[in-house]
Amino acid sequence: MNIPITYIKVNKIGNLSSKWFDSKKLLVTRISGRVNLSDVLKWENSLNQALLEIQDNDIFKIYVNLFGLKAKDVETHKKFRNIIPVTLSKYGWRVGYLDLFEEANDLKLSYTRGIRCLGAAHVHQDKSKINKYQFFFEKDNEAYFHNPILASRWINELKLEQ
């Protein structure tokens, strides 16, 4: 599959890192491999740093690449599973799969510095889970993938509508 040259090559972003592409209003974040709590905290810090690069009152879309992620222990898993939903809620975005968890009903949305998330692509290697999420929670501006290349194409083509 050829990726057009105008696309951000989202799958070239280093592990445990995040990057803001202002020209595309695209935030890319990636964590994969066998990770411990220290790795998760490093990744979370990279995500927060990338979010600081977004201008006040701007909009963005996000590519969340968890492909190949395996938590070393339960504590690590519990920490990383909350980072994306809680972080994005601070930018007006409710991740679709939160509807699976009753305890997430109280998650409040806010707009940090007036910034709004308007779209998300989520990538994970668990095909059965991702297919379930895609079936139940897909929206015009949120999709779930087990193939990073397809996710890359989708997020790059997603138009942000306010």
The helix (H) or strand (E) run that includes residue 134 is helix 127-137
CATH number, span 10-157: 3.40.50
48 Cβ contact partners less than 8 Å away, ≥ 6 residues apart: 87
Question: Within the chain, which residues score under 50 in pLDDT?
Answer: 1-5
Name the residue among 94, 84, 89, 90 with its Cα closest to residue 122.
Answer: 84
Q: Would the CA dihedral through 31, 33, 37, 42 be positive or negative? A: negative
Residue 161 vs residues 7, 108, 112, 131, 150: alpha-carbon distances, Å: 19, 22, 19, 26, 21
Q: Are 64 and 122 in contact (CB under 8 A)?
A: yes
Q: Where are the alpha helices (DSSP H) in 18-101?
A: 37-52, 74-89
Predicted pLDDT of residue 2: 44
The span from the CA of 87 to the CA of 99, in Å, is 16
How far apart (Å, rounded) are the C-alpha atoms in residues 145 and 58? 26
| pLDDT recorded at residue 30 | 94
The pTM (predicted TM-score) of the whole model is: 0.90
The pLDDT tens digits for 77-111 are 999 989 999 999 999 999 988 777 777 788 899 99
What ranges do the domains of the chain cover? 10-157
Give the closest residue to 65 by CA, choosing from 48, 47, 49, 79: 47
